[in-house]
Structure 1
Amino acid sequence: MELTTVWFILIGVLWIGYFVLEGFDFGVGVLLPILGKDNTDRRIMINAIGPVWDGNEVWLLVAGGATFAAFPEWYATLFSGFYLPLLLILLALIVRGVAFEFRAKHDSDRWRRGWDQAIFWGSLLPAVLWGVAFGNIVAGVPIDAQHEYTGNLLTLLNPYALLGGLVTLGLFLLHGAVFLSLKTDGDVRTRARALALRISPVVVAVAAVFLVITQLTHGKPITWVTTALAAVALVAGVGAAFRGREGWAFAGTAVTIVLATATLFLDLWPNVMPSSTSALYSLTVTNAASSPYTLTVMTWVAAIFTPVVLAYQGWTYWVFRKRLTRTPIAQ
C-alpha cells in the first residue's frame, strides 16, 4: 500500500476518533442548560467530561497537523476556502475551553450563567459546522486549476451541507445524552435517558436521509455496507437505551459515528477535496501529497508515539470511569 493511501486512512482514523470522543463532549455542552436544572446538576455534567475533554481535542490537533504535513495542498485549499467556518469553530473551541476553566473561579450565579452560555454556544457551533464542512468536502466545492477555492460563504451553505450539520448535531446530542446516562446517577441520569429516548426517532430519521442521499449521489458499493452497518448500530443503540442498557447504547452511538465517518472518507477517496468545477481540478491523494521522504519520516514518528498517546488516554478514561452523583458536590 502506498504511503499516500496509508496517510489518508490515518487521517480518517484521527477524525473518527475526534468525532467519537469529542462528540459526546459537544453533546453534553449543548445539553447543559437543558438537563442542568440547578448549579449542582450542571457541575455534575461538566465534571463528567472534565477529565477528558481537553484530551479529546488532541485528536483534532493531530488530524490538522497530519493533514498539513501529509497533504499540504489539501490543507491550504481547505483552510483558505473554509476560512470563516473554521475560524468560527476555532473561536468556539477557545471560548468553550476558557469557560470550563473560569466557571468556578467566582461564586456568583450571574458569573456561572454567563460561562454556561459560553459552553453551550462553544459546543453547538462546532457540532453543526463540522457537519457542514464535511458535507461540502464530500460533495465537492468550486476549485480552479490552481487548486484555489473560487466560491464564497453562501456556496458552503447549501442544503446538503446544512443537512450534514443537522446530522452531526443530532448524533452528538444523542451520543452526549447516552454518555450522561452512563456516567452519572440520580436526576441527571434519569433526565438524560428520557431525552435520549425522545430525540432518537428524529436523529435516526435525519441520519438515514443524509446517508441515503450521500450514497445515491457519491456512494460506492463498499460504502453501502458501511451505511447499512451504521444504521443497524444506531437502531441497536437506541434499542439498548430503551432497555436501560446504557453501556451498549453508548457503544451503539459510538459505532454509528465510526461507520458514518468512515463512509464519508471511503466515498471521498481517492480524492481529498473534489472540485465541482471540473474533476480535473480535484485534489487527490496523489497530487496533494508531500514527498515520499516526508511521509516516511511521519510514518515512523506516528508508529512510535501513537501507542503512547492511546495508552495514556485509555488510562485516563479508566481512572475516571465511575458514575458521578450529587452527594460530593452538594455537601
Structure 2
Amino acid sequence: MELLQSIWFYLWGLLWAVFFMTEGFDFGIGMLYPFLGKDEKDKEIMLHVLGPTWNGNEVWLISAAGVTFAAFPAVYSVMFSSLYCPIMLILFALILRGVSLEFQTHSRVETHSRASLHTIWDGCIFLGSFIPTISFGLIFGNIFKGLELDKNGLINISSIFNPYAIFTSFFFLVLFLNHGALWLSFRTEGEINKKSAKAANILWVIVFIGFILFLVSTKLLTPLYQNFISKPLLHIVVIIPFLSILLIKRFLNKEDFFKAWLCSSVAIIGFTFIGIIGLYPNMMPSVIDPSYTLTAFNSSSSLFTLKIMFGVVALFVPTVISYQIWSYTLFKDKVTKKDLGEFGY
C-alpha cells in the first residue's frame, strides 16, 4: 500500500511540474505581451505563437487537480478550502485570459474595431497570465514552508503572505518570464526576436540569482532539506536545475534558443522536484502540530481506487504526451509577418 501511495505522490508532483513547464512559457509570453509587442504586427505574431498551444497546456492543470481529487481527496479538500482565495484568483484569471485571447485575435481582423478595445484585451492577457503565476508561487511557497493548519484547516488566511511564499511567487514570476522569452525567441525572427532574446538575457541574470536565493531561503526557512541531508544522493535533484540554468546562458550566447528553452524546461521541472522530494511524504504540512499534517499515507484513497486510477493514468498520460509532441512538432516553424492570416491563429 505504501509503495503505491508513494508512486502516486511522485506522479502528483510530476503532473504539477509538467504543468509549470508547459504553461510557464505561455504565462511568460502573456506577461511580456504588452511590453514586447510595441506595434500591432508584433502583437499578432505573439498571439500566433501562443495560439496553438495555450489551451492544450492547461490539460496538465486539469490532470494535476484531478489526481489530487481522486488519489488524495483529503489534500484536495484542505487545499481548495484553506487556499480558496488564490485558487479562485487563478480560476478567474484563466477564464479572463482565455476570453481575452479569443476576443483580441478576432478584434484585430475587424477593421472597425476600436483601439481602446485592443488596449483592454492587452491588459487582460497580461493580468490573466500574471495573476496565476504569482498565485501558484504563493500556493506552493506555502506548501513548501508549511501552513498554519489545525484539524479544521487553515487558521489564519493572512499567514499565507509570509516572506518565503512571497519570494517564491517572485521566483515563479521571473522563471516563467524567462521561459516565455526563450520560447518567443525560438518561434520568431526579426525585431520581435531581438527584443525577446534581449529580455531573456536580462531575465537569466535574475533567474540565476533568484535560484541561489531560493536554495538559501529554503535551507533556512523550511524543513525541505531534511530529506536531502538524510539521503545525500538526492542532491543531484538540486544540481540538475542549477546546471540547466547555467546552460541556458551558454545556448543564449550561441543563439540556440530551442536548446536554451529545453534547459529552462529542465530547470523548472527540477526546481519543482526540489520541493516535491523535500516534502515527501508530506503534502499539506502543518507548522502548528505535525499530527495535523496531511501526508501521502494518511490522506490517500483506498488501495482499490489507487489501482484503478493508475490504470487510467497509464492510458491517459501517454496519449496526452503523444498529442502534445505532435502539436509542438506541427507548430515548430518560426512565425513571421508573412504568416499572419486574415482570421488570426
In the superposition, the TM-score normalised over structure 2's length comes to: 0.92
Alignment match, 1:66: 67
Alignment of 1:242-321 (within 5 A): 242-321=253-332
Alignment of 1:158-173 (within 5 A): 158-173=162-177
8 Å contact from structure 2 (residues 248, 260) kept in 1: yes
Alignment match, 1:178: 182
Alignment match, 1:196: 200
Alignment of 1:118-133 (within 5 A): 118-133=124-139
Cα distance between partner residues in 1 of 2:301 and 2:123: 42
Shift of 1:35: 0.5
Report % sequence identity. Answer: 38
After superposition, what is the alpha-carbon deviation per residue over 1:221-241, rounded to whole angstroms, capped at 9, x for unaligned? 244321222111101112211
RMSD: 1.4
Alignment match, 2:94: 93
Cα distance between partner residues in 2 of 1:105 and 1:256: 35
Cα distance between partner residues in 1 of 2:142 and 2:82: 11
Asked whether 1:149 is paired with 2:154, we answer yes
Aligned residues: 329
After superposition, what is the alpha-carbon deviation per residue over 1:298-331, rounded to whole angstroms, capped at 9, x for unaligned? 0111112221121111111111110001123289
- Give the letter aligned to residue 219 of structure 2: Q
The 3 A distance-change label for structure 1 pair 25 and 202 is: same
After superposition, what is the alpha-carbon deviation per residue over 1:16-52, rounded to whole angstroms, capped at 9, x for unaligned? 1100000000000000011101111011011102100
Which consecutive segments of 4 or more residues in structure 1 shift more than 3 A?
none
Cα distance between partner residues in 2 of 1:308 and 1:249: 26
Shift of 1:147: 5.3
Q: Which moved more, 1:234-243 or 1:287-296?
A: 234-243
Cα distance between partner residues in 2 of 1:59 and 1:247: 22
After superposition, what is the alpha-carbon deviation per residue over 1:40-65, rounded to whole angstroms, capped at 9, x for unaligned? 10110111021000000010011001
Q: Which moved more, 1:116-125 or 1:97-106?
A: 97-106
Cα distance between partner residues in 1 of 2:308 and 2:196: 46
Unpaired segments of 5 or more residues in structure 1?
none
Alignment match, 2:110: none
> Secondary structure of the equivalent of 2:28?
helix
